[in-house]
Structure 1
Amino acid sequence: MDASGVQVSAAERVYQHVRTGILTRRFADNDLLAEGRIAEEIAVSRTPVREALLRLEAEGMVRLLPKRGALVLPVSAQEWRDVLSTRELVETYCVTQVIDGGRAPMLTTRLEAAVQGVEQAARAKDVAAYVSADRDFHATIVAAAGNNILDRLYSSLRDRQLRMGAANLFAAGGLDDPIRINRTIADHRGIADAIAREDREAAVRLTIEHLATAARSLA
């Protein structure tokens, strides 16, 4: 592998390390990420660290501070509201399409597995796994609607959803609010059951209520 290839590989490793740390809240909002410390953690030079931080700045996760490193940017309340509004539009439409299009029976097993994934992650107090399983539950429904444009739109929200989910449900060290966690799990099971019954009105209502619960945490 040539020198440039090694450098790209190092930058990618730094990018994934820092990105995962932000999404799982190991790096909290407003944390200062020092280039030197990151370079030591991953055993690379500062050049790939700068490249990775520039990429994360372009994605809105950090703001570079000259000669200091990068500041982890918090998710603003407006961005949170915008994402939840977009999710409500997409998810309620897709729920309707799945049920009206006769696709609900095909989803039963997959949604049950997704709910179990959420439950297992909660029992294990695995922050990353829980937030990812939560997101994957909803993405399964969106994908089943068969609208490729909406599927791509929903996928583009992935990092924001993962980060917001961690902020909403978890503290940096693990499960933060067992009552909220259990309510979220019950929401998922309720939506899955309504889809299995092909009860469109209930599935749409439960989806809206589920997202409204997340919106109330902004207050």
Structure 2
Amino acid sequence: MLYSSAASASERVYDEVKESILTNELAGGELISEGDVASRCEVSRTPVREAFLRLQAEGWMRLYPKRGALVLPVTERDAREVVDARKLLEGHAVRAAVATDTSTARLVARLQVNLEDHRLVAADDVAQFSRLDAEFHQLIVAAGGNELLAGFFTGLGERHRRMASTSVQRDPRVVARILADHTELLHLIEARNADGFDAALQRHLDDVHDLPGGLQ
């Protein structure tokens, strides 16, 4: 990304800190200081303060004067709400997408490319793995043809990435589970089995994110 003005220093800090949160490099509960981030990004404290205020407004952190910024953890309620919203949006999109052979084939082709890219990611590249994981599900919602819902899902995608990063770092076996589950979801879409997709998606999200009702 290019940054071309003085104001862009704040944008750059915002992007870097937010990416660190989404990839769990900055974990929930961690307290970070303006000074440390300013040194790391080689900027003054002013753009750091502006970036922190923006991240606080978006719900990623909470500021404490003279102490720093607390990276807010993902609570069980947060995770459940994101997962519930995703089930509704993806299930609705699949029903629209599998209405015709053409739209089904188009979605299957795009998901196959995503899975091929996903399998090539290095095991320790959490950032890229979580990005492709989010993309897989975004492709499904976009295939539903509802731009309003697709736009809403884009906002969920960032929280999706953070939750996926956390799960992978908690248990590396999650990587294989995600790839296996995505393969199953793709096959169900190819078979135009929307009910089967709903059931498999619920298992996938509950298990990967270790939510009550999922595998422990």
Partners of 1:52 and 1:215 lie apart in 2 by 29
User: Map of 1:52-201 to 2, 5 A cutoff?
Assistant: 52-102=51-101, 103-121=103-121, 123-171=122-170, 176-178=171-173, 180-201=174-195
Q: Stretches of 4+ moved more than 2 A in 1?
A: 197-205, 214-219
Instruction: Return 5+ residue gaps in structure 2 as ranges.
Output: none
Whichever structure has more helix as a proportion of its residues is 1
Matches of 1:215 and 1:125, distance apart in 2: 19
Normalising by structure 2, report the TM-score.
0.90
Distance 1:214 1:90 in 2: 18
CA distance in 2 between counterparts of 1:28 and 1:156 reads 20
In the alignment, the residues of structure 2 paired with residue 216 and residue 126 of structure 1 have an alpha-carbon distance, to the nearest angstrom, of: 21
Q: Deviations over 1:68-122 (max 9, x none)?
A: 211111011111100100011111111111112441111222111111222222x
Contact kept in structure 2, 1:81 and 1:215, CA below 8 Å: no
Structure 1 residue 215: deviation in Å?
4.9
SS of residue paired to 2:62 = strand
Assess if the C-alpha contact under 8 Å between 1:15 and 1:56 holds in 2: yes
Structure 2: distance between partners of 1:50 and 1:79:
26
Identity over the aligned pairs, expressed in percent?
Answer: 37
The answer to whether the 8 A contact 1:14-1:48 is kept is yes
Letter in 2 for 1:106: R
* One-letter amino acid of the structure 2 residue matched with residue 112 of structure 1: Q
TM-score calculated relative to the size of structure 1: 0.89
Contact 1:117 / 1:130 at 8 angstroms: preserved in 2? no
How far apart in 2 are the matches of 1:211 and 1:27?
Answer: 23
In 2, distance between residues paired with 1:73 and 1:205? 31
Matched residue of 2:6: which SS? Answer: helix
2:170 aligned with 1:203: no
